[in-house]
Amino acid sequence: MNVILFGPPGAGKGTQAQLLAKRYGIVHLSTGDMLRQAVASGSALGQAVQKIMAAGSLVPDDIMIELIAERIEAPDCANGFILDGFPRTTPQAEALDAMLAEKGMSLDRVIWIEIDDAILVDRISGRFNCAECGAGFHDSFHRPKVEGVCDGCGAREFSRRKDDNAETVKARLEAYHEQTAPLLPYYRSKSIVETVDGSTQISDVAGRIETILEGV
């Protein structure tokens, strides 16, 4: 089973991908993780990626496709994969389809996690973490049981990501709508898109996705 999870920043793609990986025994392929693993491997491809990233440049599409092609040939991908974070543009989607076709493979489903921008701004800008153990909290949805004290380790120091603020989130969403959202009609033309409401509880989103994938 080969699946892509799409949706705006903060829609919960990573969380759902991890749940699906456990549920179906397929591999969660995060582009960020693949890039880090390639660099750590010391391979020729990894060295090329390291130079590009060290220069502060974006990794070219052809290298990303090569990384994915190499990764999905690994034994742990025998049952399939979940792509999270790629493709982001229509040319990337076309290149991915071409690469899979060369291997006699294809995508089974594209799960589009849909959620209103206003909810995402609130969801992301309210996040903070324990500075000691990394446990996650939220200003509105998940505050520490004892105010100012981490539920997990009892530490009293917390931190927020610099880019987890309303202005930055809005800018990221604008980039998403401009660059990535146009992929929806591309995949809809292939009749493999299913849309899921991402504003509900994590378990509800997971249940809806599982229902969709039961038919694959």
Predicted TM-score (pTM) of the model is 0.81
pLDDT digits (tens, 9 = 90+) for 103-130: 999 999 999 999 999 999 988 888 899 9
Q: If pLDDT is split at 50, 70 and 90, which confidence band does 157 have?
A: very high
- 60's tokens: 């070219």
- 122's tokens: 């609130």
Range 35-42, long-range pairs (CB < 8 A, 24+ positions): 35/59, 35/67, 38/67
pLDDT digits (tens, 9 = 90+) for 12-57: 898 899 999 999 999 999 888 888 888 898 888 889 989 998 888 8
List, by residue number, the catalytic residues.
Answer: 13, 88, 127, 161, 172
- 50's tokens: 């390291």
Of 9, 2, 196, 195, the C-alpha closest to 85 is 9
Query: Of how many residues is the chain composed?
Result: 216
pLDDT digits (tens, 9 = 90+) for 75-85: 999 999 999 88
Q: How far apart are CA 53 and CA 80, in angstroms?
A: 28
128: helix, coil or strand? strand
